[in-house]
Amino acid sequence: MLSSMTQDDTYGRIRYRGLIAWSSRLEREWPFLTSQLETAPDRSVIDLGCGPGEHLGRLAREGWRALGIDRSSSQIEEARKHHPDVTFVEGPMEDLAELTTASVGAALCIGNALPSLDDTQLDRLLAGLAARLHPGGILVIQLIDFTPILTGSKRALPVTVRPGEDGDETVFLRVFAPDPDPRYVQFIPATLSLLSDGASPLHLQSSSRLRHRGWLAGELEEQLGAHEFRGVQRFGGMDGSPYEPNRSADLVLVARRG
């Protein structure tokens, strides 16, 4: 557990740096991401809900002026340690307009960060983006497709198993439970140790219960239009595949500030 993590730092309990195969993920996503960002008015980018900062680290190495924002003190601490050439700011991404005065050519909100925002918070975030993006600036949003999750036909994401310590492995589970409000779901991530021996091989490391707004494509497009984002494109993943509700794992939206 990271030393700076407080009891309220819920997202700090999810050790994204060790739970995701970042090298293969970045290689998989990079052709699509760079094809979108290459039309930005300049090579400056903000990553909203940046987590451990892996996307920004690579962008900085490719000559982008990079800024990451995340509400988790633990994630920011980890990002600063591994990516010293990137500027990171701790704070809620919906407070973007107050957290930085920088104007940028592109913004990312990927890795399912957006569902942590309710309707009011999303409105504040988009207003901040409209103020901070250059005219013609590019916004890339990625989140899971909530269409089957809100109906209850999909209850979990694929299990991830990663190398752990001392020959053990780490298992990452992500389960969804119903919420009283049909627009929301209860998101329950859990990390377990899979021991290499012993009669009880699985040990719980941490678990959380988070309330996520199940944003759908039409809702997000309406909100983007209200803040003068234009030319919204839908994709089914960071590989540029077409978006198909109930069949695509992800929803990716690319929009340009008017």
Rounded to whole angstroms, the Cα distance separating 3 from 76 reads 12
- Structural domain boundaries of the chain? 10-146+215-257, 148-212
pLDDT at 12 over 60: no
- 108-123, pLDDT tens digit by residue? 999 999 999 999 999 9
pLDDT tier at 2 (50, 70, 90 boundaries)? very low
- 210-240, pLDDT tens digit by residue? 999 999 999 999 999 999 999 999 999 999 9
pTM of the model: 0.91
Rounded to whole angstroms, the Cα distance separating 233 from 255 reads 7
CATH of 10-146+215-257, one of 1.20.1260.10, 3.40.50.150, 1.10.20.60, 3.40.50.720: 3.40.50.150
- 39-66, pLDDT tens digit by residue? 999 999 999 999 999 999 999 999 999 9
Rounded to whole angstroms, the Cα distance separating 195 from 170 reads 9
Q: Which residues contact 18 (CB under 8 A, 6 or more apart)?
A: 162, 170
